[in-house]
Every structure is written in structure tokens, then in C-alpha cells.
Amino acid sequence: MSIHPTPFQPFRLELPGWITEYLVQQPETYPTPEARMELVTRLAQLNIEYGTGGPFGAGVFRLDTQQLVGPGVNLVLSSKSSIAHAEIVAIMMAQQAVRSHDLGAIGLPSHELVTSCEPCGMCLGAISWSGIRQVVCGARGSDAEAVGFDEGPKPVNWVTELEQRGITVTLDIGRTNASSVLQQYVQNGGEVYNGRQG
């Protein structure tokens, strides 16, 4: 029996169409961490309502103008890719927007990642190499684990680890609202999509 190789399919990670429609109606700037968190938590909630992914949202913002540079929602199920977490999608979108793999490159303004839930082990690594200078989190990893998600292996002192790399971290901004989105997802029968052997 011979195995014939099949051509690899091109892979494109695209945001759902509703995001553009939603963002057109939103303000141009988000002057406070709370306003930025409100936006990304709403993206997480809409991601559930539109059936385009899991209950996580994120955004990369310029710190000088407080403008959204790259939105992100969890696209694991729709993209059939375990790495399509909201933080990674937002970072990728922002890097494409500024045309640099390094959001901390010379000549670029400082950028902040706002995420509806603290980063999992994979996203923690992505943040370290993204050039992000600040991270703001809503729900805790324990809130995600409480509804069944696997946060993966990450250092207990992950905040200190990021801060030693020059990345400041703020926790619990809008935690109650962000946690309720996680609970809503599971209560409505949303798939908790951990890898079986993870």
C-alpha cells in the first residue's frame, strides 16, 4: 500500500466579519484600562453569541493614543487550530498592522495587551516575544479552570517573570464581568476544547 502525499492547504487566520461591523460603531480611543477591558470582554461575549469561538477576547492598544491596533477573539474551533487563542490572534493582527514582528521595536510606540482572561501557558510565551510592554487581565486563570479550561503549565510567579522582562502586569480589571462570560459559555453548552492528552 502506497501513501500519496496530498498538497498542504493554505492557512489563513481571519477575524469573523462581525468584529469589523461592531468596531465601526465603537469609539476611536479607549482612555482607561477599564474601557479597554470592557471592549475585549464584549468581544468575548459576542464571540459566543455569534458562535465563532470560545469565551475569550483580547486587544492590543497603543499606549500613547489608547487606540486599538489589533483585536482578537478565540478562534480555536472555527480555525481548527489549538493555537488560535484571543491573545495570539490580537498580537498577530497588531504586528500585521504595524508591519513588524516586534511591537517594541525602535520607532514604534509602546503597546499594551488587554485580555479578558489571564494568559495560559502558551500565550504567556507569545507575550514574552511579542514586544508588548504592558498586560492587563480580567478573569484569572483559576476562573477559566473552574469552568473546565486547561491553562497549561506556567510558572506560579508568571507576573514576576514578565516584569523581569520589562512587561508590567495588572490583574483583576473587570474580573467579575469577564468571569461571568466564561460561566455563560459553559452554561449555554459551549465546548470546552482542551486537548485530550494536554
> Digits of tens for pLDDT over the chain (198 positions)?
455 666 777 778 899 999 999 999 999 999 999 999 999 999 999 999 999 999 999 999 999 999 999 999 999 999 989 999 999 999 999 999 999 999 999 999 999 999 999 999 999 999 999 999 999 999 999 999 999 999 999 999 999 999 999 999 999 999 999 999 999 999 999 999 876 655
How far does CA 94 lie from the centroid of its chain? 12
- In this prediction, residue 108 carries a pLDDT of 96
- In this prediction, residue 197 carries a pLDDT of 53
CA dihedral 21, 109, 29, 126 (to 10 degrees): 50
Element (H, E) at 60: strand 57-62
- In this prediction, residue 1 carries a pLDDT of 46
Contact assessment for residue 120 and residue 151, using Cβ atoms and an 8 Å cutoff: yes
Q: Which amino acid is at 28?
A: E
Q: Which residues contact 39 (CB under 8 A, 6 or more apart)?
A: 26, 30, 57, 59, 68, 114
Question: Cell match 491573545: residue?
Answer: 87
**Residues belonging to the active site:** 87
- In this prediction, residue 15 carries a pLDDT of 95
Q: Cα angle at 92 between 91 and 96, to 5 degrees?
A: 115
Work out whether the CA dihedral 60, 108, 155, 85 comes out positive or negative.
positive
Contact assessment for residue 179 and residue 143, using Cβ atoms and an 8 Å cutoff: yes
Taking the model in full, what pTM does it have?
A: 0.93
Question: Cell match 481548527: residue?
Answer: 80
- In this prediction, residue 7 carries a pLDDT of 73
